[in-house]
């Protein structure tokens, strides 16, 4: 990999380690075939889950070296930046969605226990952030180690698929821009340590354990009814709209926003890992089959609903409401009415009715 990509790679690793927005933390152009610094893109797929076993291994030792070498760089990043709302190129929503599918697939391949450990490490890191939203050196090291083990449990081909797909979507001018926002020497030091860490992760693969999805005929049936009630609404949405990247009262990454993300992490931590994998696999399949407008087939949509229903049904009730309550104040109250005006009102109402019924079924548990 050329030295000029150092800043982009370092932003990638730091963005991943703090669980920041995946699209801005993967500004990495394609490189040689190896278990590369695609660590950033792993975060969107892996940024959903806890309890870590104790490790005293090569990856842990390498994580300590990387954390020490890159912490000065970490402190220089403007974590309150609105870059997460900026498309780092000209790729379409469909192209980004296909790349995201590779990240989801990578996350679904990870060892479930290591995935949970990684999420819990992020939870602790968020708790220790300072006024500039920088976590403590100790928690940063634990996140680095957890991510290294998560990636070590994934087949190399899936890691490279994430790295390559996101690299193709990023404008080559982005690395130079990012380098100008930090001290180049610190970015280069972090990059050098990252390459060493990458080599250790590659040399210490971990065999992932399987996680079986729970059976829930009632949720599967309810998902079918919701799909029937809401598919017309789904087709009426403009999935090519850039609206998702526009601020809705968002003023950059704030402590409240991080706390909301933390609530989502804790919900994921409490879910059934088999259900989570089912939902992730369903998303990957749906994205692969979506039409030119970005709409999934009805069958794939129903499978997503069933998977997500099992995920939520397996989560702690309190954690589900914590997510809802944490994100609600972050959204401009005018947004719902604006969105309603962009679709067929009758279709939206039918979808909402179907959703309420589905919610009641999910609430009864698996």
CA dihedral 32, 33, 36, 41 (to 10 degrees): 100
Do 226 and 286 belong to one domain?
yes
Do 103 and 252 belong to one domain?
no
DSSP SS3 for 321: helix
- Name the average pLDDT for the chain: 85
Residue 218 has which token pair?
A: 């009632």
Q: How confident is the model at residue 80 (pLDDT cuts 50, 70, 90)?
A: confident
Residue 144 lies in a domain: yes
Tell me what percent of the residues of the chain surpass a pLDDT of 90.
75
Alpha-carbon gap, residue 162 to 157, rounded angstroms: 9
Q: How far is CA 152 from the centre of its chain?
A: 18
Query: In this structure, are residues 1 and 32 in contact, taking their beta carbons and an 8 Å threshold?
Result: yes
B/e letters for 3-41, b = 16+ CB within 10 Å, e = fewer, are: eebbbbbbbbbbbbbbbbbbbbbbbbbbbeebbbbbbbb
Residue with the two structure tokens 């099992």: 310
Residue 88 has which token pair?
A: 């780092």
Using alpha carbons only, how large is the chain's radius of gyration in Å? Answer: 20
Alpha-carbon gap, residue 28 to 361, rounded angstroms: 43
Residue 210 lies in a domain: no
Residue 171 has which token pair?
A: 């404008």
User: What domain range is 61 assigned to?
Assistant: 3-203
B/e letters for 111-135, b = 16+ CB within 10 Å, e = fewer, are: bbbbbbbbbbbbbbbbeebeeebbb
Do 102 and 189 belong to one domain?
yes
pLDDT, position 332: 87
Do 164 and 276 belong to one domain?
no
Length of the chain equals 366
Q: How confident is the model at residue 86 (pLDDT cuts 50, 70, 90)?
A: confident
Do 171 and 92 belong to one domain?
yes
Do 196 and 281 belong to one domain?
no
CB count, 10 Å around CB of 170?
A: 21
Residue 208 lies in a domain: no
CA angle 45, 311, 249 (to 5 degrees): 65
Does 50 score more than 80 pLDDT? Answer: no
* 110-167: pLDDT as tens digits: 999 999 999 999 999 999 999 999 999 999 999 999 999 999 999 999 999 999 999 9
* 153-205: pLDDT as tens digits: 999 999 999 999 999 999 999 989 999 999 999 999 999 999 999 999 999 99
**CATH number (domain holding residue 85):** 1.40.10.10
Question: Which of 141, 175, 203 marks a domain boundary?
Answer: 203
* 289-347: pLDDT as tens digits: 999 999 999 999 999 999 999 999 999 889 999 999 999 998 888 989 999 999 999 99
Does 246 score more than 80 pLDDT? Answer: no
């Amino acid at each position: 990999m050329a030295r000029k990509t150092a800043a982009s790679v370092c932003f990638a690793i730091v963005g991943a380690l703090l669980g920041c927005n995946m699209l801005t933390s993967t500004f990495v152009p394609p490189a040689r075939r190896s278990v590369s610094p695609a660590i950033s893109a792993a975060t969107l797929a892996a940024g959903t889950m806890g309890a870590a076993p104790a490790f005293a291994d090569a990856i842990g030792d390498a994580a300590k070296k990387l954390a020490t070498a890159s912490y000065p760089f970490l402190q220089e990043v403007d974590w309150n930046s609105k870059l997460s709302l900026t498309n780092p190129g000209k790729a379409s929503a469909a192209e980004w969605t296909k790349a995201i599918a590779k990240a989801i697939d990578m996350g679904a391949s990870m060892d479930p226990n290591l995935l949970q450990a990684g999420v819990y490490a992020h939870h602790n890191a968020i708790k220790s952030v300072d006024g500039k939203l920088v976590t403590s050196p100790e928690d940063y090291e634990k996140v680095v180690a957890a991510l290294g083990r998560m990636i070590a449990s994934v087949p190399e081909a899936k890691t490279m698929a994430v790295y390559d797909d996101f690299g193709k979507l990023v404008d080559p001018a982005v690395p130079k821009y990012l380098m100008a926002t930090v001290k180049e020497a610190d970015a280069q030091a972090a990059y050098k340590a990252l390459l060493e860490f990458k080599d250790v992760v590659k040399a210490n693969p971990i065999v992932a354990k399987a996680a079986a999805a729970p059976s829930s005929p009632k949720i599967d049936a309810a998902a079918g009814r919701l799909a029937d009630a809401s598919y017309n609404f789904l087709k009426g949405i403009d999935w090519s709209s850039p609206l998702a990247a526009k601020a809705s009262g968002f003023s950059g990454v704030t402590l409240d926003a991080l706390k909301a993300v933390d609530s989502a992490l804790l919900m994921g931590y409490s879910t059934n890992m088999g259900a989570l994998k089912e939902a992730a696999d369903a998303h990957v399949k749906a994205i692969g089959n979506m039409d030119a407008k970005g709409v999934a087939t009805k069958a794939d949509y129903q499978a997503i609903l069933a998977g997500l229903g099992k995920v939520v049904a397996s989560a702690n009730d309190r954690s589900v409401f914590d997510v809802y309550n944490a994100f609600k104040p972050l959204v401009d109250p005018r947004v719902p009415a604006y969105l309603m005006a962009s679709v067929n009102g009758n279709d939206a109402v039918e979808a909402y009715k179907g959703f309420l019924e589905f919610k009641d079924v999910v609430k009864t548990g698996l």
